[in-house]
Amino acid sequence: MATVEVKVPDIGDFDEVSVIEVLVAAGDMVDIEQSLITVESDKASMEIPSSTAGKVTEVKVQVGSKVREGSVVLVLEAQGDAESKAGAGKSDEPQKAAAPSPSPASAPSSAPSAPSAPPSGKSGPVEIKVPDIGDFKDVSVIEVLVKPGDAIEKEQSLITVESDKASMEIPSSAAGKLTELKVKVGDKLNIGDLIAVLEGVSSPPPPVEGAVGSAPPPSGEARVGAAASAQAPASRSSAAAPPLQPSAAGGGRQTEGVATVAPAGAPPAGHDPTKAPTGKLPHASPSVRKFARELGVPLEEINGCGPKGRITQEDVQNFTKTVMSGAASTKASAAKAAASGGGVGDGGAGLGLIAWPKVDFDKFGPTERKDRPRIKKISAANLHRNWVMIPHVTNHDDADITDLEAFRVSTNKENEKSGIKVTMLAFLIKASVAALKKFPEFNSSLDGEQLVLKNYFHIGFAADTPNGLMVPVIRDCDKKGVMQISQEMGELAKKARDGKLSPAEMSGACFTISSLGGIGGRYFTPIINAPEVSILGVCRSTTEPVWDGKAFQPRLMLPLSLSWDHRVIDGAGAARFNGFLAQILGDFRRVLL
């Protein structure tokens, strides 16, 4: 078996690029053309495919490595036909892309002028055609990214096409309103085929050789180009300028908030990187896009955890797992659920929101960037889903805890030696159990069209930790006294802060309490911790004048904020629940009734 070093092929004008993904590991079998790594410069990301089939014996790069043309990506034992071809691979000569790979500079000669851009300054219907896409023939349309009526920006990707070697996006050579779409998924396209007709076209720059919409990625680059859009370089002002070399820093597809064009693409001169993204395409490499397509995963619903928010294969897998486990639904399935009468999964569908603003904050002052802790990312995703999918209402009330606080303080004095400090939260847990018993719909969960009523009382409490918000759960609070609850709460809070909570210690809650009492504030609107149907938020107690019928008395008042799921609970029930809770906290003997 021949040992072959697979090296970085000619990647155009990029001097040194960072490895942002390693897609194979030692021991893997790889095929010719299989992507090995994804690299990214400040202008583009692209995948580097294998020139040879075989078994990977050693991967020579890792995420963060800097590579350039000729850098060894990995070593493999060539197999089959590749072995004979690979003979030369033993030498230092890199086994480059199987597809012909003319140097970028040679490409313009074969590049036609923009197929259909109107002359400068002219406005009116414009036909957008398939530009020179290199050596590819009969490429399949695998994604149509626009629809009639859309306002199209120049350089905006219209379709994605795929050959057996590469996928690439075809951008629009002009801006305007899309009046006719001439292609659909599955169509086979060649150079010059009509993609769409635009109207109200704003003036594009005069077409030059290989200009926008026609810049031909050299076939080698098109092959490696992730979202290999055939975009023109920014500052191409004459035919002499090499059309395949990005020349505008910060270029790329701004709709994704990060440059993802193939080496052929950079935004046109005057492109404003701070303008709001059009939100057309999520940021992912072609292999991930293909993977997502195969699984039917809507990439636009995934928050990428990769560098610069790029969606990785793992993100797609995690999304699939979450949907499959029923913990979430896609917008499409949520919409179906909504259409079929509601229940879990409705709401949040078809929001039709505009894209998140993409701002170059550095324009306004110095900034720094920090990676977010994993727990924050996970809780953010859960909070977002819960906030979007649950029709929340929050009732505010006050509980007179003057006597209870006096009791708590004296109890703590008496028990000083025990080392267990009784906290107000422990009383709140006990009081909540009593309220959940009296109002069972608060101790329930939606399961499709059914309500699951629970005959157990596990209470979660939000704990603020250095890594983010966590919700440990105290089990069977109905069977435990305030002292035991206080003790368990102290232990679980410590574990949470130390990052040592087990999944079991965070699952199974019926109801959650979020106490900001130790920090401050008056009221807030806590987000329900699905699949629970309500949550109690508590803020700092203050001494207030309370009218007792004859005079104002100083009373210690505890602000309560109860958020509830309006699919399950009504306002009257919530007001009663809060009132009952306040009564118990006002006179804790009522817990015994």
Give the catalytic positions in this structure.
566
**Pairing outcome for strands 151-152 and 35-40:** unpaired
141 closest CA partner among 193, 213, 101, 219:
193
403 binds ligand CAO (CB under 6 A): no
Rounded least distance, CB 1 to ligand CAO, Å? 58
Rounded least distance, CB 469 to ligand CAO, Å? 5
Q: Give the length of the chain.
A: 593
Burial 269-295 (b: 16+ CB within 10 A, else e): eebebeeebbebbbbbbbbbbbbbbee
499 binds ligand CAO (CB under 6 A): no
Q: Which of 255, 386, 514, 563 binds ligand CAO (CB under 6 A)?
A: 514
Q: Which of 48, 302, 516, 569 binds ligand CAO (CB under 6 A)?
A: 516
Q: Which is nearer to ligand CAO, 122 or 372 (CB)?
A: 372
Rounded least distance, CB 528 to ligand CAO, Å? 11
Rounded least distance, CB 514 to ligand CAO, Å? 4
Rounded least distance, CB 378 to ligand CAO, Å? 14
Q: Which of 469, 483, 546, 591 binds ligand CAO (CB under 6 A)?
A: 469
Quick one: three-class SS letters along 441-503?
A: HHHEEEECCEEEECCCCCEEECEEECCEEECCEECCHHHCCHHHHHHHHHHHHHHHHCCCCCH
Burial (0-12, 13-18, 19+ Cβ within 10 Å), 507? exposed
Q: Which is nearer to ligand CAO, 524 or 580 (CB)?
A: 524
**In this chain, which residue has its C-beta nearest to ligand CAO?**
517
C-alpha dihedral, 54 to 55 to 57 to 62, nearest 10°: 80
582 binds ligand CAO (CB under 6 A): no
Site pattern 111..150 for ligand CAO (x: CB under 6 A): ----------------------------------------
Cβ of 19: how many Cβ atoms within 10 Å?
Answer: 21
Contact between residue 44 and residue 18 where contact means Cβ atoms under 8 Å apart = no
Site pattern 410..429 for ligand CAO (x: CB under 6 A): -------------xxx----
493 closest CA partner among 475, 514, 470:
470
535 binds ligand CAO (CB under 6 A): no
Q: Which of 389, 462, 510, 582 binds ligand CAO (CB under 6 A)?
A: 462
Find the angle CA(27)-CA(33)-CA(36) to the nearest 5 degrees.
Answer: 45
Q: Which is nearer to ligand CAO, 183 or 501 (CB)?
A: 501
The interface region with ligand CAO, picked from 66-74, 336-344, 513-521, 543-551 by CB under 6 A, is 513-521
Asked if the peptide bond before residue 102 counts as cis, ω within 30 degrees of 0, the response is no
Q: Which is nearer to ligand CAO, 245 or 529 (CB)?
A: 529
562 binds ligand CAO (CB under 6 A): no
493 binds ligand CAO (CB under 6 A): yes
Site residues for ligand CAO, window 162-181 (CB under 6 A)?
none
Q: Which of 518, 521, 545, 554 binds ligand CAO (CB under 6 A)?
A: 518
Enumerate helices (H) and strands (E) in the chain, giving the number of each: 10, 27
Contacts of 72 (CB under 8 A, 6+ apart): 5, 6, 7, 60, 61, 94
Q: Which of 32, 78, 558, 585 binds ligand CAO (CB under 6 A)?
A: 558
Rounded least distance, CB 403 to ligand CAO, Å? 15
Residue 332 φ/ψ, nearest 5 degrees: -65, -45
H or E segment to which residue 436 belongs? helix 424-438
157 closest CA partner among 307, 23, 282:
282
240 Ramachandran zone, left/alpha/beta (phi>0; psi -120 to 50) = alpha
538 binds ligand CAO (CB under 6 A): yes
161: tokens are 């096409």
517 binds ligand CAO (CB under 6 A): yes
The interface region with ligand CAO, picked from 174-182, 219-227, 313-321, 538-546 by CB under 6 A, is 538-546
Site residues for ligand CAO per CB under 6 A:
423-425, 461-464, 469, 493, 514-518, 526, 538, 540-541, 558
